[in-house]
């Protein structure tokens, strides 16, 4: 079920009414209802997906208790290993088996040998990468004695399958989200209003910006051979805003919807395109995943401690694994490696912790030096996204070769082919400018519309909300799946 679908527009208010007006007397009843609602939401794609998430929930609920109960360290490690084995094993089979099968076959064919590995005819369960990491963090934290396991099975199952953030995050930690299922919840009108504001802005980003940018980005990337470098630059920019508004839009809707039900999820995006270097970008982009890899992979293997060799090795490991998490394609691995190369000089010269605060925190506009750094970081990030969006490394190389040719100085054009574009590129860039302006004005808050409550009177706020609704209605493109559903 998509957030930007009619099905969800019906599902959400029905779930909200039953949750607060029928199930509000008992927390366990609320949790049980959330489990059923989340399974309906998730099973809307394919009911067979439910088998995996139910199995994963049972497994980590039981293993979490066993890890905590066991006094023998060897036995504790065994239970942790079982959690890793089954969770990563299922993820590996569904997401990576065919990739390795094809890669092995192609590797042997290079040496003139016939070696075939049968591929599996399976589909990737939606959101498996997200809820797998969420349950793994639970068993990891119990093993490290950071949290105690819950024996409330309804709370734990609801924590794993909570529908707003189930299929594309944020990837929540048990220490933050699980206690919210255990304690009693009461309806908070102000929190619900805040959720509606954030959800509205997320829907605007997805429907108005991401889906319209997708039309142009798809056309250019799928037909890049016929376009000059100037048009391919436009394609990279369109995709840069598509992926940001698509994913951060999902996160905003997820966080906003959660507030309607009395839950507070962590911020997942913090205005990444206002970053002044690549390290700041990665602190602000997909925060829940970046911090997950930092805490459960980067720090355990040594982090930035030790020799320069260790720093370089660990940096490449964390970025390449992060890239591979995104998908079973060599493009994601190279995308991760490219980001590691950009991040490494900052780490080696101890500049990776610069710019912790948002840009121009005490002023309205950035100074010239800050603006230059923002533009340079955005430009580099846009070029690196080309690797992420390309179908193969071969396409990436060709795309770059056209960009960095004489044709970059020609006038850009876009051929409509069979698709009649509803809006001109100039219109999309005007909408992108509106997005950037709203983001810039609200950059000091967890989401930009939060500032409206503090800085504008009620008539002005309602005018802004009405304008966003009008733009969603007018500029609604063909419905597009969220990009991160495939991961």
Q: Is 221 exposed, middle or buried (0-12, 13-18, 19+ CB in 10 A)?
A: buried
Residue positions counted in the chain: 487
> Got the DSSP string for 137-195?
HHHHHHHTTSSPPP--HHHHHHHHH-GGGTTT-----HHHHHHHHHS-----HHHHHHH
Is the peptide bond between 470 and the residue preceding it cis, with omega within 30 degrees of 0?
Answer: no
Marked catalytic residue, from 266, 326, 389, 447:
326
**Number of alpha carbons in the 13 Å side-chain half-sphere of residue 349:** 8
Q: How far is Cα 15 from Cα 277, in angstroms, rounded to an integer?
A: 43
Q: How far is Cα 384 from Cα 240, in angstroms, rounded to an integer?
A: 9
Is 318:308 a contact under the CB 8 Å cutoff?
A: no
Residue 326: active-site member: yes
Token pair listed for 104? 């092995």
CA torsion sign for 89, 92, 95, 97 is negative
Is 378:285 a contact under the CB 8 Å cutoff?
A: no
Q: How far is Cα 325 from Cα 165, in angstroms, rounded to an integer?
A: 18
Q: How far is Cα 190 from Cα 405, in angstroms, rounded to an integer?
A: 55
Residues 6+ apart with CB under 8 A from 40: 11
Residues 6+ apart with CB under 8 A from 465: 197, 200
Token pair listed for 86? 């089954």
Residue 364: how many other CB atoms lie within 10 Å: 7
Residues 6+ apart with CB under 8 A from 470: none
Is 423:475 a contact under the CB 8 Å cutoff?
A: yes
- Determine the straight-line distance between the first and last CA of the chain, rounded to whole angstroms: 16
Is 395:224 a contact under the CB 8 Å cutoff?
A: yes
> Got the DSSP string for 109-120?
HHTT-----PPP
Residues marked active site are found at 326
């Amino acid at each position: 079920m998509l957030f930007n679908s009619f099905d969800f527009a019906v599902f959400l208010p029905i779930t909200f009414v039953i949750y607060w007006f029928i199930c509000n007397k008992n927390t366990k009843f609320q949790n049980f209802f959330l489990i059923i609602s989340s399974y309906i939401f998730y099973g809307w794609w394919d009911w067979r997906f439910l088998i995996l998430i139910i199995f994963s929930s049972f497994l980590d609920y039981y293993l979490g208790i066993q890890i905590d109960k066991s006094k023998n360290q060897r036995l504790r490690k065994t239970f942790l290993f079982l959690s890793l084995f089954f969770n990563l094993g299922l993820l590996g089979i569904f997401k990576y088996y065919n990739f390795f099968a094809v890669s092995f076959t192609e590797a042997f064919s290079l040496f003139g040998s016939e070696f075939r590995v049968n591929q599996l005819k399976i589909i990737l369960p939606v959101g498996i990468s997200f809820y797998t990491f969420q349950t793994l963090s639970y068993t990891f934290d119990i093993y490290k004695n950071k949290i105690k396991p819950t024996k409330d099975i309804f709370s734990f199952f609801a924590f794993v399958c909570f529908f707003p953030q189930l299929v594309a995050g944020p990837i929540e930690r048990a220490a933050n989200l699980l206690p919210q299922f255990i304690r009693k919840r009461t309806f908070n009108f102000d929190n619900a209003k805040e959720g509606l504001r954030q959800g509205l802005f997320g829907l605007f980003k997805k429907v108005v910006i991401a889906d319209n940018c997708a039309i142009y980005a798809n056309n250019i990337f799928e037909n890049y051979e016929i376009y000059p470098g100037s048009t391919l630059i436009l394609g990279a920019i369109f995709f840069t805003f598509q992926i940001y508004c698509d994913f951060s839009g999902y996160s905003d809707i997820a966080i906003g919807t959660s507030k309607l039900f009395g839950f507070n999820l962590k911020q997942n995006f913090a205005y990444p395109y206002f970053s002044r270097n690549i390290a700041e970008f990665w602190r602000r982009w997909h925060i829940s995943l970046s911090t997950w890899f930092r805490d459960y992979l980067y720090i355990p293997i040594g982090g930035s401690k030790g020799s320069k060799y260790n720093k370089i090795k660990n940096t490449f490991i964390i970025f390449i694994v992060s890239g591979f998490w995104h998908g079973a394609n060599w493009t994601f691995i190279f995308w991760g490696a490219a980001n590691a190369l950009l991040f490494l000089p900052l780490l080696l010269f101890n500049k990776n912790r610069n710019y912790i605060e948002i840009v121009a925190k005490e002023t309205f506009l950035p100074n010239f030096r800050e603006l230059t750094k923002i533009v340079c970081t955005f430009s580099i990030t846009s070029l690196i996204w080309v690797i992420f969006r390309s179908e193969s490394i071969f396409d990436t190389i060709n795309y770059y070769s056209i960009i960095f040719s004489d044709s970059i100085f020609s006038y850009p054009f876009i051929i409509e082919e069979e698709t009649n574009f509803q809006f001109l590129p100039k219109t999309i860039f005007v909408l992108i400018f509106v997005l950037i302006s709203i983001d810039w004005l609200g950059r000091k808050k967890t989401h930009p519309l939060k500032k409206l409550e503090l800085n504008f009177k009620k008539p002005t706020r309602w005018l802004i909300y009405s304008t966003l609704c009008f733009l969603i209605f007018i500029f609604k493109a063909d419905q597009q799946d969220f990009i991160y559903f495939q991961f």
